[in-house]
Chain A
Amino acid sequence: MFRKKNYLALGAVTLLALLILSLPPRVTAHLKLTIGSLFLPLFGLANTTQQLPADLADSVLPRRELLQQIDRLRRENDQYKALAVQTAAIARENDQLRSLFGWQQQAPWKLKLANVVMRDPANWWRTVQIDLGSRDGLRENLPVLTAEGLVGRVSSVGLTRSQVVLIGDPNCHVSALVENPAHDTGIVNASGPLDTSLVDLTYLSGSASLKPGQNVFTSGLGGVFPKGIPVGQVVDSRPVEFGLYTEARVKLSANLGALEQVWVLFP
């Protein structure tokens, strides 16, 4: 009898797993978000718990230190205001030159700040979840970055949360160009499962002249990532497939191992 129960369970679980695996991707995505929403109360609880020590520390901070911080922030704010005025002038000049050449005008970036709420529990994916969703206007394939550089792209969107596939994951390919005289372009691919700070820049031309320390930016090709987002710096390069093309290792500008807040870019 016990054995029969075992085999019945084996059949039922196998059937259920196969049924779930064969569901259409759209249904699976909705199901994933629904099941993931079960964790929302725990996310709230965890956030409150993490916030509590910071709040306590804030409440006991001396007045003198707070005044010093305000003073420093005011000075920084003034510097940034001056910088913004200068940037606006440069942008106007850029627009005028672009209109003279008949080039398309560049639209300013719109950014939205998001908190990283969790990382992928599986070791074989590199994704995070952020606390913005479709109600905040997010949609698939929006670029995600930090002040340092590119982080990844939005891969799936729920009502209040979204999944971001990080640069270096096999599902996130980025067209990038190297800041050298030839402007060599390649594809940023996954490097290895352990080091999150390194990625491979592949399919560079065989004659590419790469030097360590050269900056790598998004090329704007592919239509997902706008041109000019910093990706990282070249570490080293080597010829691949008997010199048919060159591959380089790139150290990412953004620290993917310690992401707390990211910007979602609306191009």
Chain B
Amino acid sequence: MNPFRTILILVAAFLAVFGEATLPVLHHWLGAQVDLLPVLMVYAALTADIATVSLLAVLGGLWFDALSANPLGISILPLFAVGFLISFRRDLILRELAFAQFVLGTTASAIVPVLSILLLLTAGKQPLLGWGSIWQWLVMTAGGAAATPFVFALFNWCDRSLGYQPRIEPGFRPDREIRRGRI
């Protein structure tokens, strides 16, 4: 487990939630705010271990719910469900391909809000829903899909620039040196 990557993902989630709450630019233009937590969950599920996925689901969900009118803890399960399913099959996913990242970002960004709404309705809450919610869902899905390859590129750059790099073994091995005589 690489703790640097886990910390980076959690810091990004914290900043993403703060940004969503304080920068309503997209909300003004498109009528919906794009949620970056599903995108981060896709990255975490493909590159980090299950502990990181769990931490992101719990902390990200709690941070999001603390700044929202959601009941506290309602966002944990949708995020974790997406992360769990991706990490379960991550050996079969070509994670380096931008298209695969795009598809996973689309799926995650589409599933998380739907699951959250279902949980809210199950809990007896009355979220603001209507025909306009379909537009909001499309914006969230498209926004998440577009952001996923950029998030992967950004994290890969951070990982290369700031993270621990494994030492590359040189081809030369002293024990295999052929010692020659004078001739």
Contacts and interface: CB of A to CB of B under 8 A. Distances in A.
B123 A119 contact: no
Interface string A107-130: 000000000011111111111010
B114 to A, nearest CB: 11
B152 interface: no
B80 A13 contact: yes
B63 A38 contact: yes
Interface residues of B, number: 57
A198 B23 CA distance: 23
B53 A9 contact: yes
B64 interface: yes
Nearest to B62: A35
What bracket does the count of chain A residues touching chain B fall in?
35 or more
Contact of A125 (B62, B69, B140): B69
A212 interface: no
Interface in B49-100: 49-51, 53-54, 57-58, 61-74, 76-77, 80, 84, 87-88
A257 to B, nearest CB: 6
A20 B73 contact: yes
Interface of B: 14-15, 17-18, 20-22, 24, 27-28, 31-33, 35, 49-51, 53-54, 57-58, 61-74, 76-77, 80, 84, 87-88, 113, 116-117, 120, 123, 126-133, 135-136, 140
19 contacts: A5-B49, A13-B57, A17-B77, A28-B71, A31-B72, A32-B66, A35-B63, A39-B21, A119-B24, A121-B20, A121-B33, A122-B64, A122-B127, A124-B117, A124-B127, A124-B128, A170-B126, A192-B131, A193-B128
Interface of A: 5-6, 9-10, 12-14, 16-17, 20-21, 23, 28, 31-33, 35-36, 38-39, 42-43, 46, 117-127, 129, 155, 163, 165, 168-171, 190-195, 257-258
